[in-house]
Structures are given as structure tokens and as C-alpha cells.
């Protein structure tokens, strides 16, 4: 029996590889996004802790000016870090959007080649069935002719 051979198989394989590469790029950027979000969340928790500590120091009696100044400085540093991380996260979101667009394009290109392969396979299979039917008809005609000649 004949075997289906898709002449554009190397192109289909290349399209699959391109799609996989784009998936890896999206995954890498997604990991960066998650890491940044975790770091921002950590800064926010630490800011909340510093605010509670500042309230405690303000509520206490005595001369805690140095403690107040230290707590305020720590909160300011954490706020600045959080703002920097938010800006960095915005850049990661832009890169992630661009990577997803590239992935969609690669997926579309791979699917188009896959559909072409399927259509070519269906045409080949139909042609094979026609050839087999024609061969069976020839056998039947030959067998019928032999029966008639034997009679």
C-alpha cells in the first residue's frame, strides 16, 4: 500500500518549532511577571508592617524621635522600591503582550500549514481509494470475462 508523503513536512516542522519557541518566550516573560508581582506584594506587606510599627512608636510615650525617623525612612524606601517594581512590571506587561501577539501569529501559521497537510492527505486518500476501486473493477471485469469464456 502506498504511503502518504507531505512534501512540505519540513516547513510544517519549522512552523511547529517556531510556535514552540514563541511559547517558551511567553513562558519566560510570564515567569518574570509573576516574580515581579510577588516582589511587589512583599513590599506592600513590608510597608504595612512598617506603618504598624510607626503607629506603635507614635503611640508610645517618651522620646522616640529617632525611631519615628527610622520608621518613616524605611517606609519611604519600601514605597520607592514598590514604585520601581510597578514600573518594571508595566514594561514586562508590554513585552508579554508583544510576545503573545508573536505566539498567535506563529500558531496561525502552523495551523494553516496543518490544514494544508490535512487537505493534501484527504485528496491523496481519495485518489488511493479511486485507484483501489479501479483495480478492483479491473479484477472483476477480468474474472467476469474468464467466466464467460469458460462457458
**pLDDT of 28:** 98
Maximum CA extent, the chain: 128
What phi, psi does 64 have (nearest 5°)? -115, 30
**pLDDT of 146:** 78
Q: How far apart are CA 93 and CA 83, in angstroms?
A: 15
Element (H, E) at 43: helix 9-59
pLDDT-based confidence at 53, cuts 50/70/90? confident
Dump strand ranges (E) for the chain: none
| Residue 51 grid coordinates | 506603618
Q: Does the pLDDT at position 10 exceed 90?
A: yes
**pLDDT of 62:** 63
Q: Where do the domains of the chain lie? A: 9-113
pLDDT-based confidence at 104, cuts 50/70/90? very high
Q: How far apart are CA 52 and CA 71, in angstroms?
A: 10
For residue range 118-146, list pLDDT tens digits in order. Answer: 999 999 999 999 999 999 988 888 888 77
pTM for the full predicted model: 0.74
Amino acid at each position: 500500500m502506498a504511503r502518504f508523503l507531505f512534501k512540505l513536512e519540513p516547513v510544517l516542522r519549522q512552523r511547529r518549532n517556531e510556535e514552540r519557541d514563541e511559547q517558551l518566550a511567553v513562558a519566560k516573560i510570564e515567569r518574570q511577571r509573576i516574580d515581579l508581582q510577588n516582589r511587589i506584594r512583599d513590599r506592600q506587606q513590608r510597608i504595612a508592617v512598617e506603618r504598624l510599627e510607626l503607629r506603635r512608636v507614635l503611640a508610645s510615650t517618651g522620646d522616640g524621635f529617632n525611631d519615628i525617623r527610622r520608621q518613616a525612612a524605611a517606609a519611604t524606601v519600601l514605597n520607592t522600591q514598590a514604585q520601581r517594581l510597578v514600573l518594571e512590571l508595566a514594561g514586562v506587561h508590554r513585552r508579554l503582550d508583544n510576545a503573545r501577539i508573536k505566539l498567535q501569529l506563529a500558531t496561525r501559521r502552523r495551523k494553516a500549514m496543518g490544514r494544508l497537510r490535512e487537505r493534501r492527505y484527504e485528496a491523496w486518500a481519495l485518489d488511493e481509494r479511486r485507484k483501489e476501486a479501479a483495480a478492483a473493477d479491473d479484477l472483476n471485469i477480468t474474472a467476469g470475462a474468464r467466466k464467460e469464456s469458460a462457458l
